[in-house]
């Protein structure tokens, strides 16, 4: 597949050749004109894959649970794709070893696709790259896409929360209940999974979660169920899938699925606009006529808001 241009790769993908997938996702990650062209060509060419975000604190067992979900789904004959998203990767510039191992695990199984995603210069970061990647994977015919994040940073919660169903994985005995609340996980969760549920403080965490949920209203008519799991042994994995299915059914019957997706599309448009305007800001900042102003800012002689006023004045 190497050496073929993005358009040819896209045509191959749309014709059913999944070998084009890794290369096309690299194009999407890299951003730029090629990514735009791929994005335009795959748009509406998928079948509307259902997306499941999986997020939670580091060490909660998200990867292990994801692996169990893959296993059970394959046993049931379902295909599944996983995007493992790591917003911290711009620093390290590489996929996690664990994801590479997983990819090798399923290398022989065309019904499973696992891919680590990092921002490699993508304009607007992963928040923009992930929905584009989802559409490419969707166009490859995967009907279910799991989006797993590494931790619970602001962008990770944002990315996982932008799925059709968001699963929040937490563990007992780690103060995760309070942490979940703080990180905004309560707001994005459609399903709570208490992993490592053989821990003695499992009931306590479940009580805390329920208490926090009692304080919240659920105008959509869906209160996140709490599912117990022991991802290491696989216990509870089917229950997690059941909870996801029930949420999917709720989204479909209530019409929320289309409403949510419409809202997300508008949010994506806004992010694209902002990213484009950000490029414009960099261009403006670099202009020779602003050299003196830049010096004044760097020398802390003028405050940034006043300086921005001056630069934007030139735009109008």
- 218: contact with a copy of itself by CB under 8 A: no
From 142, 137, 111, 160, select the one nearest 25 (Cα to Cα).
137
Among 2, 44, 255, 292, binds a copy of itself (CB under 8 A): 44
Q: Does residue 306 belong to the site contacting a copy of itself (CB under 8 A)?
A: yes
Please, which residue, 150 or 205, has the CB nearer to a copy of itself? 150
Per-residue binding string, a copy of itself, 108-147, x by CB under 8 A, is: ----------------------------------------
179 binds a copy of itself (CB under 8 A): yes
Do residues 37 and 150 lie in contact, with contact meaning Cβ atoms separated by under 8 Å? Answer: no
- The neighbouring-strand residues paired with 147 are 53, 83
- Chain centroid to Cα 199, Å, comes to 29
CA–CA separation, 82 and 154 (whole Å): 21
Identify whether the C-beta of residue 2 lies closer than 8 Å to the C-beta of residue 19. Answer: no
Pairing relationship of beta strands 112-117 and 191-194 according to DSSP bridges: unpaired
Binding residue (CB under 8 A) for a copy of itself from 3, 15, 75, 277 = 277
**Span of 57-65, 109-117, 163-171, 190-198 interacting with a copy of itself by CB under 8 A:** 57-65
146 in helix, strand or coil?
strand
The correct pick among 200, 255, 299, 313 for binding a copy of itself (CB under 8 A) is 299
Residue 253 burial (C-beta neighbours within 10 Å; 0-12, 13-18, 19+): exposed
What is the binding site for a copy of itself (CB under 8 A)?
36, 39-40, 43-44, 57-59, 86-92, 96, 150-156, 175, 179, 181-184, 186-187, 261-263, 265-266, 268-274, 276-278, 280-282, 284-285, 294, 297-308, 311-312
């Amino acid at each position: 597949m190497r050496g073929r241009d993005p358009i040819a790769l896209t045509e191959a993908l749309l014709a059913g050749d999944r070998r084009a997938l890794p290369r096309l996702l690299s194009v999407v990650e890299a951003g730029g004109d090629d990514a735009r062209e791929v994005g335009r060509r795959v748009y509406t060419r998928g079948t509307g894959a259902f997306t499941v975000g999986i997020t939670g604190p580091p060490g909660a067992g998200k990867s292990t649970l994801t692996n169990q979900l893959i296993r059970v789904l394959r046993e049931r004959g379902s295909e599944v794709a996983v995007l493992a998203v790591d917003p911290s990767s711009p620093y390290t510039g590489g996929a996690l070893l664990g994801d590479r191992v997983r990819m090798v695990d399923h290398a022989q199984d065309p019904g499973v696709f696992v891919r680590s995603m990092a921002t490699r210069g993508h304009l607007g970061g992963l928040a923009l790259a992930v929905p584009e990647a989802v559409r490419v994977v969707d166009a490859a015919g995967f009907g279910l896409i799991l989006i797993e994040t590494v931790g619970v940073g602001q962008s990770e919660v944002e990315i996982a929360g932008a799925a059709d169903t968001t699963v929040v994985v937490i563990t007992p005995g780690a103060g995760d209940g309070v942490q979940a609340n703080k990180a905004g996980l309560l707001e994005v969760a459609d399903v709570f999974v208490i992993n490592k549920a053989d821990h003695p403080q499992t009931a306590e965490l479940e009580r805390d979660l329920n208490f926090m949920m009692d304080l919240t209203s659920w105008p959509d008519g869906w209160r996140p169920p709490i599912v117990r799991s022991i991802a290491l042994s696989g216990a509870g994995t089917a229950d997690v899938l059941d909870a996801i299915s029930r949420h999917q059914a709720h989204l479909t019957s209530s019409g929320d699925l289309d409403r949510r997706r419409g809202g997300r599309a508008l949010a994506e448009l806004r992010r694209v606009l902002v990213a484009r305007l950000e490029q414009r800001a960099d261009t403006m900042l670099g202009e020779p006529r602003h050299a003196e102003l830049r010096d004044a800012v760097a020398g802390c002689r003028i405050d940034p808001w006043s300086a921005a006023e001056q630069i934007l004045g030139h735009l109008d």
